[in-house]
Amino acid sequence: MHLFLIIALLVIVSAIYSYINARWLKLPGTIGIMSLAILGSIITIVVDKVDPRSAKYLTLLATNINFSTTVLNIMLGFLLFASAFNLNTKRLKKEMRPVFVLSTIGVIISTAIFGSLLYWITGLLDIKMPYIYCLLFGALVSPTDPVAVGAIITKSKLPNNLETIISGESLFNDGIGLVLFISLLEITQSGVDKIDFSKAVMLFAQEVFGGIALGAVTGFLAHRLMKSINDFQTIVLVSFALVMVNSLVATYLHLSIPLAVVTAGLFAGGRSINVDNNDHSHQALEKFWTLIDEILNTMLFVMIGLQMINFPFLQHYWLSGAIGIIVILAARWCSIMLPLTFLRRSLNVNYGSINILTWAGLRGGISIALALSLPASNHRHFILAGTYFIVIFSIIVQGLTLNKVINAIYKDHAKD
């Protein structure tokens, strides 16, 4: 299918779903569009079996989009930059300790607990699943998705400190989770005996700290460039170039693209670029990136829903989905509770907050993209189907009930 036709169909379908949701359903954007996209995929699958010509274009759209490449190599950088650019850096500095702990130690703990529980449960059910593949499954679903999280918590009644912790964690844990996923994937392909762990640790440090350093340098330089001019068109082009420079350089130097782009967004957006009191360049740029974020969000969740057309094996893996949902919730709760228990005295976080942080840990397109990038194996379909069910459950069920959970825990608290 021609590239322009793919883009045109994706935009048209996104506009139709977005209009239906805004006009009639009136659900939170992410949830409504995802639900409509899944419903559209189910109808397409049914219609395709009866009359393939009627479902031709939606089927072609779903099968011709390389979801993994599109999300990880194209959309992710812009989505992460938009979220980081508009994040309140003053609040982030105040909550940096829990954000750092949850986005690093939390992801590792979640991966380990998820992998261990899954290995134990699949053993009880006589499902042959090697432990390393259980850990690999855990690595791709443990990071929370900043796109899904940001789209839903924006309109929630979360206290400001928890909103900052959830947003900050979801921005940074993608980079850690991605590096952890790649490391575990290499072990599954090469074997534990052939892995040089000292080299692996060095590569991990290079990806993480190199990505942060790259983003800090480029973000600082871009901020200085944008502040030195008042031509808004040029300012927008500089911000676009900032995302692309980080993506290209990080790819070439084998650094973490998510961490580089997030750090660049924080440095570029953390301080105003207004050149005088009458200039509103920074506010206009924030609105521009908010619009880009919302448009790409819509298209991403339409793509997630359309992926159901590509998964004819889903009906055979309901069990993996059910197991995955239960295990990821348990792993998420433990990965928050364990590290924050030690920091509880110095943080404004209680066990009610831990329950909210658990339920607000949504998964999205990044997890599916990583699952789709898995090479062919006897366990790929199990992991891919389980990931898809986890993502659908987290966005629709957790997303729809998040405000109820918050209200139940903070009955007498109003947002600061």
The 3 state secondary structure assigned to 148-190 is: HHHHHHCCCCCCHHHHHHHHHHHHHHHHHHHHHHHHHHHHHHH
CA separation for the pair 234, 257 (Å, rounded)? 24
Q: Quote the pTM value.
A: 0.92
Give the pair of three-digit tokens for residue 358.
């658990």
Residue 411 has pLDDT above 80, yes or no: no
Which pLDDT band, with edges at 50, 70 and 90, does 358 fall under?
A: very high
Q: How large is the average pLDDT for residues 2-19? A: 91
Which pLDDT does position 415 carry in this prediction?
46
Please determine, for residue 416, whether its predicted confidence score (pLDDT) is greater than 50: no
d(CA 414, CA 260): 35
Q: Tell me what pLDDT residue 147 has.
A: 80
For 308: left if phi > 0, alpha if psi spans -120 to 50, otherwise beta; the answer is alpha
